[in-house]
Amino acid sequence: MIALAADFLLFRLASGERVPFSVEMISVELVGDSAPLFDPDFVRNAAQAVFHYFKHELRRETVTVSEFSEALEKVLGGFAPGNKRDKLADSRVSQADLSQLARESGKGCELFFFPRLREELRCQLRRSPEELHFHGLRRCVKRLAGVRRWTNGCQVLQDQIVEFLRHCFTTEERPKQCALWVK
């Protein structure tokens, strides 16, 4: 295996492929209502800060594209004009999509799903939320089970996922007043 250069991160795509990028190689394109709010240099600097955060603060070598874009969105959202009360509410509740984690793990791939789920829980807890919401449980289970209709096996897998989340939540370092929601 070839060693990764010090100024590169591996970006894990939804297909499972890992692509190395340096901070200079990352290009960010804003679309929608927020596009006119930010200068391209400002966005480039924010992307560099997020890259630095994952690489040096968290000491990670691999990051998913969705993790990177969510972190960048959070950074830019802090500078966007808007209601401070809405920002405060957003910072209290952290959300993760279980069906997205299942998609990233691959069909019927519980082997990769559970470590990825623990990684996501840890990432969300670092934000010190008051509530941590995991949603999309039913779609997640059906994707992992590789079925279209709910079966007894789906129920067993759903119970395993909920129990795994409860166990990880109680063993991980977290804010005292944090609640876990799985739906």
Instruction: For residues 68 and 127, state if they share a domain.
Output: no
The reported pTM is 0.52
- Find which of 2-11, 51-60, 148-157, 172-181 is predicted with most confidence, using mean pLDDT: 148-157
Distance of CA 44 to the CA centre of its chain: 21
Instruction: For residues 14 and 100, state if they share a domain.
Output: no
Q: Are 146 and 107 in contact (CB under 8 A)?
A: yes
What is residue 160's predicted lDDT score, i.e. its pLDDT?
95
Q: Are 130 and 88 in contact (CB under 8 A)?
A: no
Tell me: the pLDDT tens digits for 97-106? 999 999 888 7
Instruction: For residues 95 and 106, state if they share a domain.
Output: yes
More confident residue, 166 or 76: 166
The arrangement of strands across the sheet holding 62-64 comes to: 18-22, 8-12, 62-64
Instruction: For residues 56 and 91, state if they share a domain.
Output: no
Tell me: the pLDDT tens digits for 63-118? 888 888 888 888 777 776 554 444 444 568 899 999 999 988 876 577 889 999 99
Instruction: For residues 174 and 94, state if they share a domain.
Output: yes
Instruction: For residues 7 and 58, state if they share a domain.
Output: yes
